[in-house]
Amino acid sequence: MKKILFVNACVRKESRTRELAELVLSRLDGEVEEVNLEKEALKPLTRRTLNKRMKLQSDNKLDDEMIKYAHQFRDADIIVMAAPYWDLSFPASLKTYIEHINVVGVTFAYADDEPYGMCRAQQLIYVTTAGGPIYSDELGYGYIRELCEKFYGIKDTRYIKVENLDLYGADVEGLMNEGREKIRNMEF
């Protein structure tokens, strides 16, 4: 059975992003494990925590609890990432999570000064919604896509977005239905 990792960066109870991500999850075959970033309340790396992690890496103690998120990410077969579009990107909790999974020797390594991926996943599906327009896909999804391709070895990234949901006069249900239909028509 496939391991599906659901990285949930949604904080609102009525999150439209989470609704679409759950539709994606319902179309996948496998066991879903969720990392709810609001509940995890990860803290950004500091000098002290970064030094601790670097010591664990140099001592080859990569099974430490501090590195559990990197192992979980590496071992997933499919990753679904739900992140609302905030401030031209995504919530800070997702950036903090990325700090916790970017572990040399677990999710990626280096050869000839170039990173190569160590992740099992062949596919990452990034889901986002926005109240206004998404001015550039490169600031949120693009960042995740680059990490997947350059560091994690995940070549197949999918992007599902629904935007302009909070604009005056927006047909919210119509826009959401377009997003739902896109998901229903996707091959995973």
Domain assignments of the chain as residue spans, ordered by start: 3-185
Instruction: Name residues whose C-beta falls within 8 Å of residue 113's C-beta, 6 or more positions apart in sequence.
Output: none
Predicted confidence (pLDDT) at residue 41 exceeds the cutoff of 90? no
Q: How confident is the model at residue 188 (pLDDT cuts 50, 70, 90)?
A: confident
38: its two tokens: 């609001």
Q: What is the pTM of this model?
A: 0.95
Nearest CA to 130 among 15, 42, 35? 15
Contact 183, 27 (CB under 8 A): yes
Q: Taking residues 117-136, report their average pLDDT.
A: 96
What's residue 21's pLDDT?
A: 98
Kindly report the CA angle at 88 between 139 and 99, in degrees rounded to 5? Answer: 60
Tens digit of pLDDT for each residue in 94-118?
999 999 999 999 999 999 989 999 9
Q: What is the CA radius of gyration of the chain?
A: 17
Distance of CA 112 to the CA centre of its chain: 28
Tens digit of pLDDT for each residue in 162-178?
999 999 999 999 999 99
Looking at residue 100, its amino acid is H
Q: Taking residues 135-159, report their average pLDDT.
A: 95
Does CATH number 3.50.50.60 belong to domain 3-185?
Answer: no
